[in-house]
Amino acid sequence: MSDDLAIRIGVAFARQATQAPAARLCSACVEILDVSGAGVTIMSGMHSGPVCSSDERMGRLEDLQFSLGEGPCRDAFDIGRPVTEPDLGQRDTGRWPNYTQPALILGARGVFAFPLNVGNARIGVLTLYQDAAGSLSDDQTADSLVVADVLAQTMMTIQARSRPPLLSIDLTDANAHRTEVHQASGRLAVQLNINVAEALMRIRAHAFVTDQSVADVAKKIVAHELWLDDDRTIGQQ
């Protein structure tokens, strides 16, 4: 890591020090890397889900990938290498058939996903967004790789403070819905006599079809306002 980049990372995190720790991670990434937005997602079995986003729109873009189970974030995690798409508008939709158009509607043109690695283990993904089409510069790409490494180490440090060693409150404050998603998946699994993974897939599918976030669907299931076997609802959608 260059001294200049180390200084910029330190300054960026210091400027965001008044925010919640998880939110600070994404806000600092935008400042350091000069991109339109950023999001961090944990990919760790039952703990999978967005950790933070730099603003509300980026949060919707992150939730979109989580809801659909497809997109550059998923691919980057699966292959363990960066996945870059400089122009979603020119992309063949065959690879991400459900993700591309909704992401464009939300204003994303360039999407760049960097896996978060600790040794040989992958724990998540840093996704960067640009409102205009175009590749990241060589400097941005090099800096993104460094920032991804710093993020992975930072998240592991935060996690190490957690007792018991699940997800630290510092990582869950920005996404309190993760607990509700897990509760909803468990409730639906019992209700429909399916496994939790399939239950989560059904929640994601319903969120996509009804243009809701996974969090909103989960809240309704936990509150007994939504039953996905026949989509009966109580109260407003």
Domains, the chain, in order of start with CATH, read 3-174 (3.30.450.40), 176-233 (1.10.10)
Burial class (CB in 10 A: 0-12, 13-18, 19+), 91: middle
Residue 137 CA neighbour count, 13 Å, CB half: 6
**Cβ 112 vs Cβ 85: under 8 Å:** yes
Q: Quick one: tokens of 90? A: 């020119």
- Decide if pLDDT at 135 tops 80: yes
Q: What is the pLDDT of residues 76-108, one digit of tens each?
A: 999 999 999 999 998 766 789 889 988 999 999
Q: pLDDT confidence of 209, banded at 50, 70, 90?
A: confident
The model's confidence at residue 72, banded by pLDDT at 50, 70 and 90, is: very high
Range from 50-59, 107-116, 129-138, 212-221 carrying the lowest mean pLDDT: 212-221
- DSSP state letter for 130: E
Local confidence band at 23 (pLDDT 50, 70, 90 cut-offs) = low
